[in-house]
Amino acid sequence: DIQMTQSPSSLSASVGDRVTITCQASQDIRHYLNWYQQKSGKAPKLLIYEASNLETGVPSRFSGSGSGTDFTFTISSLQPEDIATYYCQQYDNPPFAFGGGTKVEIK
């Protein structure tokens, strides 16, 4: 089974900062990686699909890159409304594992 290792598990940054989260797959998943945002008590919201494609309606400050086993998610300028937990997920082959999550807080 493919394991997804996401880091860091939490981070604190200032409004306007650039935030980067990484996700590593235990084997090649090509570009089949999603990034989600989950706010407290809500369902996950898809932000990025196929590693680098921005979901419709998602602000352009969110971006993703990578392929194979190493992926990066970036918020170019952190906003107060970005406070949430972010998850990566591979969907190349089942089981469609999620990373452990990154909790983003404002400093």
Partner 1 sequence: EVQLVESGGGLVKPGGSLRLSCTASGFIFSDYNMNWVRQAPGKGLEWVSFISSSSFYIYYADSVRGRFTISRDNARNSLYLQMNTLTAEDTAVYYCARVGSRWSYWGRGILVTVSS
**Where along the sequence are the contacts to partner 1 (CB under 8 A)?**
1, 34, 36, 38, 42-46, 49, 55, 85, 87, 89, 91, 94-101
Min separation Cβ 16 and partner 1, Å: 28
Of 22, 18, 20, 17, give the one whose Cα is nearest residue 7.
22
Nearer to partner 1, 66 or 99 (CB): 99
Closest contact distance (angstroms) between CB of 14 and partner 1 is 26
Tell me the two tokens of residue 92: 């190349």
Minimum CB separation of residue 73 from partner 1 in Å reads: 15
Residue with Cβ nearer partner 1 (1 or 81)? 1
Strands (E), the chain: 4-7, 10-13, 19-25, 33-38, 45-49, 53-54, 62-67, 70-75, 84-90, 102-106
